[in-house]
Amino acid sequence: MECRHCASPLEKPGDFCLICREQNTEAIVLDVARDRVTLTMLGSEDDPAHNNSSSRSNSSAGPNGEQDQVLGETTITTTPEDGENEPVELRNFAGLVGDEIRRKRPEEVYAGGTRAVIRAIREDVHHDFYRVDGEDPVEAVRKRRGTRALDVVETPPAEKIGGSHSTLIGGRTGMRAIQTVAGHPHVKKVIPGPIDAGGKGSQSGLRAKVTRADNGGNVRMLLRDGSSVQENRVVTTARDREMGERIRADLNDVLAESEFQ
């Protein structure tokens, strides 16, 4: 495959071009199992030579995903280990997948399948991850990118947290859960609410859940720790309930993968 910008040869389809320093892959879809991960690279069908990088970023997916095409596919496998060897094997497996993602430098990564492997990959690459399900995850992502028109918030997670209530239940663990949500690219702000200590006690430790979106696309994040409950307002870039529900699903998947659910 050649670079879509300067026609320089690429070692693998969708690689970031080291000659002109331009991106060829806009999104990667991971179909994840415990013993293998299939990466599918997606890119725009428009001619990037006639557009600057900023305009491509804003218009990478048109109506019904018509501009996204499959640039290539790569499958990475492993032989799962048991016992004390498993953490090292899983980390190495995630590292191989991470190497493939890094050489593409995509804007987004979509993943579906085995949560433990997804969590390990997320820790390795630190990209924006979105959960995707279904029998054909690639087609689901193409449609999703085609209908998505949400602004991305570049503000660091710590700077998105504010409001009159500065105390969080769960201490550092509660703050980690809040920052996990604040780190989502479509979250503008997380506003902690008052703590209600009159709830039903639980011995399961701190748990977090994002509730149904309102008509404006914003959601609520509930933190529970023992008998304490805290409701935190999450302001998103969604403009309606449907888009807010999409963000809610993403946030709950991230919380689950981070073992807060």
Give the CATH number of the domain where residue 135 resides.
Answer: 3.30.420
**Domains in the chain: how many in total?**
2
The token duo for 195 is 């703590």
In a domain, 224, yes or no: yes
CB atoms under 10 Å from CB of 77, counted, come to 11
Q: Report CA Rg, the chain.
A: 20
Distance CA 141, CA 125 (A): 20
pLDDT at residue 141, rounded to an integer: 87
Same domain, 204 and 130: no
pLDDT at residue 67, rounded to an integer: 55
Alpha-helix runs per DSSP H in 195-236:
none
Same domain, 140 and 167: no
Same domain, 173 and 110: no
In a domain, 94, yes or no: yes
Residues 53 and 23: beta-carbon distance below 8 Å: yes
Q: Residue 216: CB partners within 8 Å, gap ≥ 6?
A: 238, 239, 240, 241, 244
All residue ranges of the chain with pLDDT < 50 are: 47-65
Residue 53: what residue type?
Answer: S
In a domain, 17, yes or no: no
The residue segments making up the domain with residue 83 are 27-147
Distance CA 143, CA 145 (A): 6
In a domain, 174, yes or no: yes
Distance CA 175, CA 179 (A): 6
Q: Residue 242: CB partners within 8 Å, gap ≥ 6?
A: none
Percent of the residues in the chain that have a pLDDT greater than 90, as a whole number: 54
Same domain, 137 and 36: yes
Q: b or e along 186-200 (b: 16 or more beta carbons within 10 Å of the residue's beta carbon)?
A: bbbbbbbbebeeeee
At 72-117, the pLDDT tens digits run 999 999 999 999 999 999 999 999 999 999 999 998 899 988 988 9
Distance CA 65, CA 57 (A): 14
pTM to 2 decimals?
Answer: 0.65
